[in-house]
Structure 1
Amino acid sequence: MSKFAFASTGKSCRLLAISELVIIYLGFICVLASFYFTSSEEVQQKVYSLLDIPFLPIVIILLMLSLGLYNPRLRCDEQGVFRRLLIISALVLLLAFPLSNLDFFSLDFQITLYSVVLSLCLLMAFRYVISRRFAESFRHKVLVLGGGERAQIIWQRMRRESDKKGVDILGFVPISGDKEADLGSNKIDLDIDRDLLNYVKANQVDEIVVACDERRGKLPVKSLFSCKIHGVEVMDVLNFIERETGQIAVNQMYPSWLVYSNGFSRPDSIRAISSNLLNITIAAAILFVTWPLILFVMVAIYLEDRGPILYRQTRVGYGGKPFEILKFRSMRVNSQANGAQWAQKDDERTTFIGRFIRRYHIDELPQIINILKGDMSFIGPRPEQPEFVDRLCQQLPYYSERHNVKPGLAGWAQLNYPYGASDKDALEKLKYDLYYIKHRNIWFDMSIFVRTVEVVFFAQGSR
């Protein structure tokens, strides 16, 4: 586990962000004090500078969020974290340079430079100390009640240390009725009717996850109730997987859970209007910033093989209705003459300029037109071709539920899973798409948008 990327799930993530915001703010205060606060007259003259200080620390925290430094499943070493912090420093300084020349912004560029360097050094030191001394305090102890196929889901999903940074799985307790499953050496021989509460007390268990294959007449209800009375949280395996992995276990989901669980609600008119305004605002801002790049790509595509610049393809959208998606052409003309195909790694059909624009997702920019037309949203499940949808709806349960929201240019599945090129990948992405549909709101959309910056910066999930 990286010394600088450690467990930061739920409340601990918010606590971490607030703590680091305070640290960054103190770094700015220290630099400002060393420059100006040498006499009482200068203090009075420069007090208004304090009003400008919170702006840049908040920007730094947002950039740390966008580059994955608050992602509990961040998989990178110290160099990866340091590289992200260097990118953050460069972006903040690029923002501060023009602001320092404006009359209403009182911080000099030199002060901002020293403040950013000091703050990021303090952040590295803070994360090192926390990860070495207090990492265990961010974890809660979990006992899994079950030793069969449902329990194996937890074992498979959270086998690596990077997948269970926020939890410490003590073991799996088999129950009568469980099917045979490989859980390694993690099974615990325990008489759940007599000794469950004693085990919970002795090992300071915070949470019990019910993951048995057969519940009817098999659950130790009295023992579980006693544990709950003593402050231990009892949770269903589906809710646990949803919380810890950011996905829904579709292949283990039962209809009653889908009906009775929270979420999957239709947005009210205010949320719908705010979502549309967010889409239009983001689309307009991206067009304003990227129009020189768009013109350059259009010329480059045309000069390479004199073919069409835009690629049009039928996709399935909201309500299962087809629409025509727009992309910059990144493959040779007639690349799908033999029928619809998944894009593969190092696909031979890709052109020279196509490899570049696909790597950095530039080929997706024309979909802003789809967003402005209302065919797509900025955030949502990625739309697929009708040929794939027809087959996947028959093979995968609940796949058609993806069409209850508008498809998106970016999405929760794209942040958490690499490019899908098979039916198996489609199932994994469906788990993330259903999680998004269940929890979607404008704040979740904004969080996904900010974190998408990391995907673009490091060319993740492209083929």
Structure 2
Amino acid sequence: MSRFAFASTGKASRLLVISELSIVYLGFLLVSVGFYFNSYDILSNQLQMLIEVLVIPLVIIVLMLSLGLYNPRLRCNGDGVGRRLVIICSLVLLLALSLSGLNALSSSFHVVSLSVLTSLCMLMGFRYFISHKFGDTFRRKVLVIGAGKRAEIIRQRMRREADKKGFTIVGFVPMAGDDEIDTGELKMAVDLDQPNLLVQMVKDQRIDEIVVACDERRGHLPLQALFACKLYGVEVMDVLNFIERETGQIAVNQLYPSWLVYSNGFVRSDSIRSIASNMLNLGLAVIIICLLWPLLLFVMMAIYLEDRGPIFYRQTRIGYAGKPFEILKFRSMRVNAQANGAQWAAKNDSRATRIGQFMRKYHIDELPQIFNILKGEMSFIGPRPEQPEFVERLCTQLPYYAERHNVKPGLAGWAQLKYPYGACDKDALEKLQYDLYYVKHRNFWFDLAIFVQTIEVVCFAQGSR
């Protein structure tokens, strides 16, 4: 049940959102009609009720998005999904209660609460049905041209079943020049010098996409065969583009410079967009401070009472264009925690204070960075800034690491959503690949999606140390 019932496939995401929004509206409509049966004039005169019926279904879908229920690679069991549903119900019912003037006995609150429960039950039934009847319908059939080291990247990065919900690898076709790997039953032999043979295989296997992942292209790439398949209607793409689309990261170790130059994305923001982004960051920062100032005061008091030490912690980080700045955080570790030099935070770090452990778990220690946003040193969304000592070393070890400084560092980011806390150079490489993906594809809607999904990271204490 969990393979589709609680997460969409990559290709079906938009269709799933539209379908489930329609189901939620249908649930609200059925409950409203049943509750006001034979008294439609009463319903038509209740403007508040009509607004709730129109708006709250949208809120439910947004909450499902923010809590990962549309994440194609969602990895959680039934308990994890249950917690998410409880949060959604609680937040929506709290909204409905506030709209009804905190009157839990009002008819509007009864209608909305029953509509929410009915809609969520219908959604889970819909997903259960789809997963068992049409689970494989939207999976693309992929043929990989190549069976060497570059083709091995696909198996390494997408070894889990959750990573392959949107496609199925039909086979690997070895090519001359490949440092051939063992592909087992997926090995498919075909003479690529005869285009009609590859086209016939595509027809027989009903291939949707061909991924070119050969180790040596010069003199070996079957251009005529690939072009014939493209004319037949099959999408042909490079392995780097395939990995980028399916994993949301850029395979840094496999990049060739021309790919960066000719690929879409990596464009500089124009002045209007930059001004709009700065204004949006400032506005959100002011709103959040106005809403959370009681929490900020409570945390400041708790930090001081624990060990009478400093409340805030300042640390030099590398920001936009490689310029250093002082990042502001609530102090979550004991005084002089970095007396022996800069070091990665470890799981259950012994340097953390008791209140600090709780703050780091729910990312509360990051809240003072809102003031860095007000100063223009950071934005809400972007790559996380690192310490100069780490940046200097990583720039020499990891190709293209400095490119992440082409945008302002962020309070939240794409890498934080997709990968847990980094505690070594290997983790830094993984997060760099997500950061480069963000730099390439960043836009308002991408930022908004990251901002909404960050709610899941905070609510379930993901990626914290």
How high is the TM-score relative to the length of structure 2? Answer: 0.96
Out of 402, 405, 413, which is 1:403 matched to? 405
What secondary structure, in the 3-state scheme, does the structure 1 residue paired with 2:159 have?
A: coil
Out of 300, 324, 331, which is 1:298 matched to? 300
What secondary structure, in the 3-state scheme, does the structure 2 residue paired with 1:108 have?
A: helix
Correspondence 1:347-362 to 2 at 5 A = 347-362=349-364
Query: CA separation of 1:249/1:29 partners in 2, compared to 1, >3 Å: closer, same or farther?
Result: same
1:275 to partner: Cα distance: 1.2
Q: Residue in 1 aligned with 2:89?
A: 89
Alpha-carbon separation, structure 1, partners of 2:246 and 2:29 = 37
AA in 2 matched with 1:53: V
1:85 to partner: Cα distance: 1.4
Query: CA separation of 1:368/1:107 partners in 2, compared to 1, >3 Å: closer, same or farther?
Result: farther
Q: Residue in 2 aligned with 1:79?
A: 79
The alignment status of 1:118 with 2:118, answered yes or no, reads: yes
Correspondence 1:16-165 to 2 at 5 A = 16-39=16-39, 41-42=41-42, 44-46=44-46, 49-101=49-101, 108-165=108-165
CA contact (8 A) 2:150 2:215 kept: yes
The alignment status of 1:307 with 2:309, answered yes or no, reads: yes
AA in 1 matched with 2:176: S
CA contact (8 A) 1:52 1:107 kept: no
Q: Residue in 1 aligned with 2:204?
A: 202
Query: CA separation of 1:294/1:44 partners in 2, compared to 1, >3 Å: closer, same or farther?
Result: closer
Which moves more between the two structures, 165-174 or 395-404? 165-174
Q: Residue in 2 aligned with 1:178?
A: 178
Query: CA separation of 1:363/1:237 partners in 2, compared to 1, >3 Å: closer, same or farther?
Result: same
Query: CA separation of 1:132/1:372 partners in 2, compared to 1, >3 Å: closer, same or farther?
Result: same
What secondary structure, in the 3-state scheme, does the structure 2 residue paired with 1:251 have?
A: helix
What secondary structure, in the 3-state scheme, does the structure 1 residue paired with 2:243 have?
A: helix
CA contact (8 A) 2:316 2:327 kept: yes
AA in 2 matched with 1:119: S
Query: CA separation of 1:182/1:121 partners in 2, compared to 1, >3 Å: closer, same or farther?
Result: same
CA contact (8 A) 1:6 1:135 kept: no
CA contact (8 A) 2:52 2:112 kept: no
Query: CA separation of 1:44/1:457 partners in 2, compared to 1, >3 Å: closer, same or farther?
Result: closer
Q: Which runs of 4+ in 1 moved over 6 A?
A: none
1:133 to partner: Cα distance: 0.7
Which moves more between the two structures, 22-31 or 176-185? 176-185
Which moves more between the two structures, 72-81 or 317-326? 72-81
What secondary structure, in the 3-state scheme, does the structure 1 residue paired with 2:186 have?
A: coil
Alpha-carbon separation, structure 2, partners of 1:443 and 1:107 = 37
What secondary structure, in the 3-state scheme, does the structure 2 residue paired with 1:313 have?
A: strand
1:78 to partner: Cα distance: 2.7
Alpha-carbon separation, structure 2, partners of 1:284 and 1:180 = 57
Residue correspondences, number: 460
What RMSD, in angstroms, separates the aligned Cα atoms of the two structures? Answer: 1.7
Alpha-carbon separation, structure 2, partners of 1:41 and 1:454 = 41
Query: CA separation of 1:182/1:301 partners in 2, compared to 1, >3 Å: closer, same or farther?
Result: farther
1:4 to partner: Cα distance: 1.4
Query: CA separation of 1:7/1:102 partners in 2, compared to 1, >3 Å: closer, same or farther?
Result: closer
Correspondence 1:355-370 to 2 at 5 A = 355-370=357-372
1:338 to partner: Cα distance: 0.6
Which moves more between the two structures, 280-289 or 211-220? 280-289
Q: Residue in 2 aligned with 1:168?
A: 168
CA contact (8 A) 1:411 1:448 kept: yes
Percent identity over the alignment is 68
CA contact (8 A) 1:380 1:405 kept: yes
Q: Residue in 2 aligned with 1:325?
A: 327
Out of 277, 288, 292, which is 1:286 matched to? 288
The alignment status of 1:2 with 2:17, answered yes or no, reads: no
Which moves more between the two structures, 295-304 or 315-324? 295-304
1:321 to partner: Cα distance: 0.4
Query: CA separation of 1:137/1:90 partners in 2, compared to 1, >3 Å: closer, same or farther?
Result: same
Alpha-carbon separation, structure 2, partners of 1:160 and 1:86 = 28
Query: CA separation of 1:6/1:300 partners in 2, compared to 1, >3 Å: closer, same or farther?
Result: closer
What secondary structure, in the 3-state scheme, does the structure 1 residue paired with 2:74 have?
A: coil
1:327 to partner: Cα distance: 0.5
Alpha-carbon separation, structure 1, partners of 2:185 and 2:432 = 31
Out of 436, 448, 451, which is 1:449 matched to? 451
1:238 to partner: Cα distance: 0.6
1:191 to partner: Cα distance: 2.3
Alpha-carbon separation, structure 2, partners of 1:51 and 1:455 = 30
Which moves more between the two structures, 387-396 or 295-304? 295-304
